[in-house]
Amino acid sequence: MSQHFSLADCDVVGFDLDHTLCRYNLTESALLIYNSFAQYLVTEKGYDKELLTVPTESWDFCCKGLALDLEEGNFIKLAADGTVLRASHGTKMMTSEELMGIFGNKKWKYFTDASMASRTAKYYFFDNYFDLPAALLCARIVDYLTGKSNLETFDFWKDILASIHHNYKVTAFKENSGMYFPEVKSDPGRYLLICPESVKKWLYQLKSAGKVLFIMTNSHSDYCRLLCEHIIGNEFTDIFDIVISNALKPGFFSHQPNKRSFRTLENDEEQDDLPFLDKPGWYSQGNSDHLYELLKKMTGKKEPKVVYFGDSMHSDIFPACRYSNWETVLILEELREDEGMAPERNASEPLEKKGKYEGQQKKPLNSSSKEWGSFFVDGDLGLESTESSMTFTWFCNQIHNYSTVVIPSLEAIADLPLDYKFTRFSSNSKTVGYYPKPPLALLSNGESLTTK
């Protein structure tokens, strides 16, 4: 495999939508997501009303890459080899002594290999900005239940799933039910960031260069349309040859075609199953095998080269790389913190305008957690975090293994020529795949870091 990656060499360019093509005002959207779950739990499931008030400092708990033991209520930060680096019970961080007593130097009991699923009946991995508010909510629920009756095992996850279904079910957008969709529909400018002109120009440049462009998102078609029309404009249908909504990733990549057919859409309602795809258009569900057959037809090539941009390791990067052998570009907004980039506003929003929830949250979700530290690296269990003891986290190892390159946003590469040669990740270096530069947490330790 070549040491370099170039968009000019790709025949097809695909994009996830949420937090990839469409960037969010994370301060506003995080609290909306949190409140949409908390309101349901309090009003429908009888949880304590204290969950509705979020102390400003509580947001520091949010960190990508944490696993939640659904039965024990413990949050786990894993090293690349599966041992535990840090942990908390609810929001209460464990001491080094507690860590050693509970976990020792052994692999976490649910750790199997580097491709662990993020959704099982035993644990859940939090790996994107839609997840993180729920992580804080779950931790606060554990605090409440522990304080109320000193529980040692927990059964609240079914209620979290019910709140997700209530707010995000297929019909919620059309019915204007739940809290999330009605809020975004009423004031999309509060939550969504307009696509920069440089990115729009770049998309047209890709199109003019003969690339096939597609969107593939787990969002349903009605919400997908709202996002695209708001951030790009009605012309988004002229830019993208194929739009796939309700893709049900990662199953889109891992399921066989007979398990998950594409469906046509009419007025945002899913219609007939399709035995195959024969033309560009807007579809729902589906599978990567049938999509690739269409891409062969559209490009006239037996093995068209596909690159896919996404923000979720679980839903986008890992399955696209592992099952479809696509090139993958991870959008990692945490890199923006190292660049000193302030949280963005819409250009049309007055500077003096304060968001509905903005006063409640000071720490952006794409900044480091003081409690959990960097999600790239950490110290060995029970040891002080010195350079000699620092090691890659499991999340960071996933990035290196399954991403071609990592960027902070599409805007970061929009002004580059299409034949720009990115240096891809390799077994010889864990830092070269980041553009425009590696995170400071890795640079400060150089290549001395270990994967254990």
Chain centre distance of CA 120: 17
The per-residue pLDDT for 389 is 62
Task: Return the percent helix, strand and coil in the chain, to nearest 5.
Answer: 40, 20, 40
Q: How far apart are CA 243 and CA 152, in angstroms?
A: 46
Pair 22, 200: CB distance under 8 Å: no
- Which architecture characterizes domain 1-22+195-332+375-452 according to CATH? 3-Layer(aba) Sandwich (3.40)
Query: Residue 366: its pLDDT value, please?
Result: 82
Q: Are 134 and 124 in contact (CB under 8 A)?
A: no
Instruction: Give the per-residue pLDDT at 32.
Output: 97
Task: Return the pLDDT at 347.
Answer: 45
pLDDT of 258 reads 79
Q: pLDDT tens for the chain, 452 residues: list them.
A: 679 999 999 999 999 999 999 999 999 999 999 999 999 999 999 999 999 999 999 999 999 999 999 999 999 999 999 999 999 999 999 999 999 999 998 999 999 865 666 667 899 999 999 999 999 999 999 999 999 887 788 999 999 999 999 999 999 999 999 999 999 999 999 999 999 999 999 999 999 999 999 999 999 999 999 999 999 999 999 999 999 999 999 999 998 887 899 999 999 999 999 999 999 999 999 999 999 999 999 999 999 999 999 999 999 999 999 999 999 999 999 998 765 554 454 444 444 444 444 444 457 788 889 999 998 999 755 444 444 467 899 999 999 999 999 999 999 999 999 999 999 998 777 789 999 999 988 876 544 444 45
Active-site pick, 18, 127, 222, 311: 18
For 120, what's the count of Cα atoms within 13 Å in the CB-facing half-sphere?
14
| Contact (CB, 8 A) for 397 and 114 | yes
Whether this prediction's pTM lies above 0.85 is answered by: yes
Give me the pLDDT at residue 1, please: 64
Cα 192 to chain center, whole Å?
16
Per the annotation, the verdict on 272 as an active-site residue is: no
Q: What is the DSSP letter of 369?
A: B
Q: Provide the phi-psi class of 295: left if phi over 0, else alpha when psi is between -120 and 50, else beta.
A: alpha
144, 62 Cβ separation under 8 angstroms: no
* The pLDDT value given to residue 353: 43
Whether 390 and 445 have beta carbons less than 8 Å apart is answered as: yes
Q: Is the separation of the CB atoms in 192 and 28 below 8 Å?
A: no
Task: State the pLDDT at residue 442.
Answer: 86
Peptide bond into 257 cis (omega under 30): no
**Whether residue 16 lies in the annotated active site:** yes
Sheet with 269-274: strands ordered across? 269-274, 262-266, 281-285, 242-245, 212-216, 12-15, 306-310, 327-331, 405-407
Q: Domain limits of the chain?
A: 1-22+195-332+375-452, 26-186
Task: Look at residue 320 in the predicted model and tell me its pLDDT.
Answer: 97
Annotated catalytic residue within 9, 11, 16, 278: 16
